[in-house]
């Protein structure tokens, strides 16, 4: 590797300030039109690049990693999730993988809280009515939603984002419950006045609102399966700002359609950018285009982390955000 100007291939358009800084520091190949790179193009990139900077939309599978040239030593991903990268294959090739944890916590928690409010209070339905020209004025029985104050919130995955959601939710009068691989530290549990459920099944059947905040891993694929979704109370709501693959989307759509689940707020989808056609027909679902982390500040912070990881690696040190294992 040319330590002075290593070749860095960036797979998607990044903020201008980040691209400019990367051009200054590295021999950087940008994707100016932001078109999703094909598998063939990704393989070609890995055969010349010293560092690959993909995003969560790029599937860096075993085939791509095994086809990479010996000079590829770092995959510095722009994003927190790493389920799009075959970590085992990277380990076999001695390729370090980094991500950008922490910088999106508050932004994603904000969006999660927005959906926790929007779904029960029917905010998007009301907005559509106001724009339609069919609104006839205030009525005592018009657009009735559900109060969230005093309700129970069940958080699946009590990592950084889950805890940030809990802190916001407490301010809205929600009782905090959570399921995790293991309980969080006692100080955090006391601060949040949170109740730990070792059994996800038992928690699901008792919650008024469920927030999915765990990463997508082989262990969490369809964690909310048909059986588990059918445990949820008919009056409950589901919010997902994590990964669509965590929920059996077809079953969720069916249960929402029959009102066996009251409503949902979804920022992520199982086969995105495709959205299940059944969801598109439902008026009790708030649908967003994976924008939970979409703030200017967050994207700049992500880019800065990518640059730090690359620069630290080039300087002969361990990058600060090495992916060792997926935490849930």
Copy the structure tokens of residue 15: 């903020």
Query: What CA–CA distance (Å, rounded) separates 242 from 315?
Result: 34
- Rounded percentage of the chain residues whose pLDDT exceeds 90: 96
Helix, coil or strand: residue 1: coil
**Average pLDDT in the 85-94 region?**
96
Nearest to 263 by CA among 81, 64, 124: 124
**Average pLDDT in the 197-211 region?**
98
* Partners of 153 in beta bridges: 176, 209
- Angle at CA 97, nearest 5°, toward 92 and 100? 160
pLDDT attached to residue 324: 79
pLDDT band at 326 (very low <50, low <70, confident <90, very high): very low
Does the annotation mark 243 as catalytic? yes
**Model confidence pLDDT, tens digit, residues 132-145:** 999 999 999 999 99
Q: Which of 243, 245, 270, 299 is catalytic?
A: 243
**Model confidence pLDDT, tens digit, residues 54-86:** 999 999 999 999 999 999 999 999 999 899 999
Q: Would you say residue 219 has pLDDT above 70? A: yes
Does the annotation mark 290 as catalytic? yes
Q: Would you say residue 1 has pLDDT above 70? A: no
> Within the chain, how many helices (H) and strands (E) appear?
13, 12
Query: What CA–CA distance (Å, rounded) separates 300 from 262?
Result: 37
Query: What CA–CA distance (Å, rounded) separates 27 from 73?
Result: 15
* pTM for the predicted model, two decimal places: 0.89
Domain 105-287: CATH superfamily is: NAD(P)-binding Rossmann-like Domain (3.40.50.720)
Query: What CA–CA distance (Å, rounded) separates 279 from 284?
Result: 9
Pick the CATH number of 7-103+295-314 from 3.40.50.720, 3.40.50.150, 3.40.710.10, 3.30.70.100: 3.40.50.720
**Model confidence pLDDT, tens digit, residues 291-302:** 999 999 999 999
Q: 156 and 214 in contact (C-beta within 8 Å)?
A: yes
pLDDT attached to residue 259: 97
* Partners of 263 in beta bridges: 237
Q: 215 and 190 in contact (C-beta within 8 Å)?
A: no
pLDDT attached to residue 309: 98
**Average pLDDT in the 146-151 region?**
98
Question: Which H or E run includes 127?
Answer: helix 123-132
pLDDT attached to residue 325: 52
Q: Which of 146, 168, 290, 322 is catalytic?
A: 290
Does the annotation mark 272 as catalytic? yes
Mean pLDDT computed over every residue of the chain: 96
Q: Which of 44, 189, 272, 304 is catalytic?
A: 272
- Domain limits, the chain: 7-103+295-314, 105-287
Question: Which H or E run includes 314?
Answer: helix 296-314
Specify the DSSP class assigned to residue 242: S
Asked if domains 7-103+295-314 and 105-287 share a fold, the reply is yes
Q: Would you say residue 216 has pLDDT above 70? A: yes
């Amino acid at each position: 590797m040319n330590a002075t100007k290593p070749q860095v291939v960036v797979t998607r358009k990044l903020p201008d300030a980040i691209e400019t800084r990367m051009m200054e520091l590295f021999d950087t190949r940008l994707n100016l039109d932001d078109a999703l790179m094909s598998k063939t193009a990704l393989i070609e990139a890995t055969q010349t690049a010293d560092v690959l900077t993909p995003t969560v939309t790029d599937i860096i599978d075993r085939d791509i990693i095994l086809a990479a040239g010996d000079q590829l030593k770092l995959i510095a991903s722009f994003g927190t999730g790493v389920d799009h990268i075959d970590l085992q294959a990277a380990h076999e090739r001695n390729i370090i993988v980094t991500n950008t944890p922490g910088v999106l916590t508050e932004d994603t928690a904000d969006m999660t809280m927005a959906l926790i409010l929007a779904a029960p209070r029917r905010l998007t339905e009301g907005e559509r009515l106001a724009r339609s020209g069919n609104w006839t004025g205030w009525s005592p029985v018009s657009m009735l939603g559900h109060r969230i104050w005093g309700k129970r919130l069940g958080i699946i995955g009590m990592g950084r984002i889950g805890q940030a959601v809990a802190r916001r939710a407490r301010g809205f009068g929600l009782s905090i419950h959570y399921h995790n691989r293991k309980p969080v530290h006692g100080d955090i549990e006391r601060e949040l006045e949170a109740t730990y459920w070792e059994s996800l099944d038992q928690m699901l059947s008792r919650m008024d609102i469920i927030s999915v905040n765990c990463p997508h891993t082989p262990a969490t694929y369809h964690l909310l399966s048909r059986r588990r979704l059918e445990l949820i109370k008919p009056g409950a709501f589901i919010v997902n700002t994590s990964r669509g693959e965590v929920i059996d989307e077809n079953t969720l759509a069916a249960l929402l359609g029959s009102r066996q689940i009251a409503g949902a707020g979804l920022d992520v989808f199982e086969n995105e950018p495709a959205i299940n056609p059944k969801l598109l027909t439902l008026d009790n679902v708030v649908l967003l285009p994976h924008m939970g982390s979409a703030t200017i500040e967050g994207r700049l912070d992500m880019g800065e982390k990518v640059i730090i990881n690359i620069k630290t690696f080039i300087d002969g040190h361990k990058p600060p955000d090495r992916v060792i294992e997926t935490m849930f």
